[in-house]
Amino acid sequence: MTAQPETVWDLDEVRDQLAKRAEENDRTGAFPWESIQVVHEAGLLRAGIGSAYGGPGLSSAEAVRLFLALGAGDPSVALLTAMTVFQHQLQATAPWWPEETYRKVVADSWGRPVLLNAVRAEPEWGAPARGGLPATTVSKVEGGWILNGRKGFATGSEGLAYHLVWATTSTDPDDDPLLAHAVVPGDTPGIEVIRTWDHLGLRATSTHDVVYTDVFVPEENFRGVPLSQQGRDVSGSAVLGLAALYVGVARAAQAWFVKFANERVPTSLGRPIATTERIQSVAGEIEVQLIQAEEVLFGLAARVDAHDPVATQRLLSAKLIATRSAVTAVQTAVAALGNPALTRHNPLQRHLRDVLCSRVHPPQDDAALLIAGRASLKTP
C-alpha cells in the first residue's frame, strides 16, 4: 500500500475549531459529525496507523500532546478520536484484525472518517476490567458465527464504522470458553443502537447501549483465545493519552478562568480581580496542579517510548495522578469564582462536568490504588 502524504498537525488550529462547536455539541448531545470531520481532515484519525500499513504511527509522547490539544477543544470529540487511534495502535503493535479487512479500513480512512471502538461493557456485567465473563455470545454456524447480546456504554455507537464486540463462546468459566473481539461492520443487519446516554459530561460521545441480535460474523472476524490464556495488555499511549485528554479539559478551564479574572472589575474594587492576591494564589494553585499532571504524563511517556519496564508498571498510577490534578484544578477555579463559574452560559461548568468523567475511565481510582499498594507491599 502506498501511503498518501500526511497533513502536518496544527493542533492549535484543530483545538480552536473544535472549541467553536463544543458548547452546541454538549447542549444537544447529538453526534458531532462536523467536528469529527475537522479531526479527519487534519489527519488525526489516522494517527495510530502503523508504518506497515502506510501510516505515521504514534508514540506515547505524541499521544499525550495530541490529546491534550483535543481535550482542550472538545473532549467528546477527543474521546471518539482516541477510541479509533488506539485501535490502530493496537493493530500496529499486536496485529489481530483479518488482514484484508484492516487494509480496507486503512484505505477507506483516507477518504472519510472511519471510527472504530472496542465495545466491551454490559449493563448487568459492568466493565471488563473488574473481571468476569460477558453475557454477549458467539455461536458457531457454517461459515462463521452468530453474535447475540447487549452492550452498554458503547462510545461512538451511532457513528462506528466497525464495532469490535467483546464476546465469548460460553458464559460458563468452567468451559474455558473462547473470548475475543468480533469485528462487526457498523451496517451489519441485527445491530440496534438504544439511545440511553444522557450523561453529566462528555454528552456528545454517543455512548449508548447497543443490541446485537443474530448478527452474522464471518469466520475470520472472531479469533477466540481460551479464558485460561487471556493476558492483560496495557497500552502506554492509551492510558497516558486518555489522562492527557482530561488535563486538556483543565487547561481550557484555566484559560477561561484567566480571561474572566482579567475582565472582571467589581465596582467595590475598581480593578480586575486578577490583581488581587487571592485570585493570584488561586491561579498559582491551578497552574501547579496542571504542571504536575503534564510533567508526569510527558516524563512517563518518554520512558515508555524508551522501553523502560518500570515506566510501564507506573502507567495506572500516572492516570490517577494526572486526572486527580485535572479535577482539582477545575474545582479550584469553580470554588474561587462562585456563581459565574456555575452559570450555564459560561463554559467553566461544562469543563467541570467533563473533567469529572475522568473518574470512570479504567483504571478507576480504587483499582489503581489497589494495584499500586499490592506492588509496594511485596517484599524484596
Ranges for all domains in the chain classified under CATH 2.40.110.10: 119-225
Fold of 119-225: Butyryl-CoA Dehydrogenase, subunit A; domain 2 (2.40.110)
How far is 2 from 53, CA to CA, in rounded Å? 8
Q: CA 297, 312, 377 angle in degrees (round to 5)?
A: 105
Hey, what CATH class is 236-375 in? Answer: mainly alpha
Ranges for all domains in the chain classified under CATH 1.10.540.10: 11-113
The radius of gyration computed from the CA coordinates of the chain, to the nearest angstrom, equals 22
In tens digits, the chain (380 residues) has pLDDT values of 444 444 468 999 999 999 999 999 999 999 999 999 999 999 999 999 999 999 988 999 999 999 999 999 999 999 999 999 999 999 999 999 999 999 999 999 999 999 999 999 998 886 676 667 999 999 999 999 999 999 999 999 999 999 999 999 999 988 999 999 999 999 999 999 999 999 999 999 999 999 999 999 999 999 999 998 987 656 678 999 999 999 999 999 999 999 999 999 999 999 999 999 999 999 999 999 999 999 999 999 999 999 999 999 999 999 999 999 999 999 999 999 999 999 999 999 999 999 999 999 888 899 999 999 999 998 66
Architecture label for domain 11-113: Orthogonal Bundle (1.10)
Ranges for all domains in the chain classified under CATH 1.20.140.10: 236-375
For 41, what's the count of Cα atoms within 13 Å in the CB-facing half-sphere? 10
